[in-house]
Amino acid sequence: MSEVLSSTVASIQPIDAEAVAAAEAAQAGLAKPAGALGVLESLSAQLAGIARTCPPAVPAKPAVGVFAGDHGVLAQGVTPWPSDITFVMCNVFQQGGAAINVLARAAGASVTVVDMGVAGPFAEGPGAEGGAELVSKKVRPGTADLAKGPALTRDEAIQALEAGIEVANTLIDGGADLLITGDMGIGNTTPSAALIAALTGTAADVVTGRGTGIDDEMLAHKTSIVADAVARISADADGVEVLAEVGGLEHAGIAGFVLGAAARGIPVILDGVIAGSAALVAQKIAPASVGYCIAGHRSFEPGHRIALEQLGLRPLLELDLRLGEGTGAALSVPIVQAAARILTEMATLASVMAGGQ
Ligand SMILES: Cc1cc2ncn([C@H]3O[C@H](COP(=O)(O)O)[C@@H](O)[C@H]3O)c2cc1C
Ligand SMILES: O=C(O)c1cccnc1
């Protein structure tokens, strides 16, 4: 492991159990029956544990990182879309017309698009009004075909993880207090399925889904590619090795983003199946990083359920979304803010009873 990755991993602490306990005790005394705010209560306790204080500050500056990359496995016919769409969508993000732009604006979140490995001629630059800033961290123009061998070298995987850490640090240094993962990469549900199969020990046919919408024949082919690639991975492979063998550059960027957020004590909302698979990589590298993760939603992709089970995360929303980009995570921002707000603003049952006497 190189210096940035190893020092980041070394600085990730478990979330603070005392602050969690303080939040649980505070929730029990608020003007409501115990447990009546359901998941908002456990979420508020998690936010307190992350902030290491109770009540935690209400997140005020959410920031989406959309990690983009292309995939050599497209040569196998695993998606109906051409890889050019990855590049085209990055320009739409910059202009502000993509789904994530709309939902991020609704959530008051900034959007930064990170070129981890887009095949096209990506140019850095500020966004249009309401659009995303484009940042280049290009490791290579797309992965190698994971059907034929490792998608990345170990060095490339580490470089990409460190790029994700740097993006997290830059956003946090700029004032972001809630990070949100996003992805763009035609074909990226194939490496996502392979990462989930490899890191959870689940069969390829259980975790492989239709992505952007493929027919039965293409799904069977995609599933066999996932199964064959996963079979190359040895049982004692570490997280970086699994990532290099069957992952993608945006998966690596997101895994680094999660590690970076955890190291800085900032909560990170995970989006769909791509983020779920990347969070499994982060978990394998630094198990305590999962304490900083919130599952914004559960997507329609079958592997996402398996990933969330292993992460031990309950999704806040379930709307059959299957887009990625960060859309489901951005939609959940008001719920995360509400959880912190409850701890800060609600009256206690004792004060209410005293007032009523
Ligand atoms: C226009 C368009 C916009 C998207 N935005 C996100 N995705 C999503 O779909 C892709 C993954 O699905 P698969 O593995 O089936 O190719 C990724 O780019 C993901 O970000 C999109 C896909 C398309 C076509
Ligand atoms: O789960 C997701 O986020 C997803 C599903 C299909 C295609 N792109 C993303």
171 and 105, same structural domain?
A: yes
For residues 297 and 291, give the distance between their C-alpha atoms in angstroms, rounded to a whole number. Answer: 17
**Structural domain range at position 184:** 62-335
37 and 120, same structural domain?
A: no
76 and 35, same structural domain?
A: no
Return the ligand number nearest the Cα of 184. 1
* Reported confidence tier of residue 254, pLDDT bands at 50, 70, 90: very high
Identify whether 133 is a catalytic site residue. no
306 and 202, same structural domain?
A: yes
Say whether pTM exceeds 0.90.
yes
Closest approach atom of ligand 2 to CA 211: 6
Q: What angle do CA 25, 31, 33 make, to 5 degrees?
A: 75
The proportion of the chain whose per-residue pLDDT surpasses 90, expressed as a percent, equals 97
pLDDT value at residue 120: 87
pLDDT value at residue 100: 98
Q: Strand order in 62-69's β-sheet? A: 133-136, 110-117, 62-69, 178-184, 268-270, 293-295
pLDDT value at residue 356: 62
111 and 29, same structural domain?
A: no
The CATH number of the domain holding residue 14 is: 1.10.1610.10
Average pLDDT over residues 166-183: 99
139 and 164, same structural domain?
A: yes
97 and 10, same structural domain?
A: no
150 and 99, same structural domain?
A: yes
148 and 163, same structural domain?
A: yes
> Number of structural domains, the chain?
2
280 and 153, same structural domain?
A: yes
122 and 15, same structural domain?
A: no
ipTM, two decimals? 0.99
pLDDT value at residue 122: 86
* Reported confidence tier of residue 355, pLDDT bands at 50, 70, 90: confident
- pLDDT tens-digit map of 261-276: 999 999 999 999 999 9
For residues 215 and 175, give the distance between their C-alpha atoms in angstroms, rounded to a whole number. Answer: 44
pLDDT value at residue 53: 98
CB-ligand 2 contact for 212 (6 Å cutoff)? yes
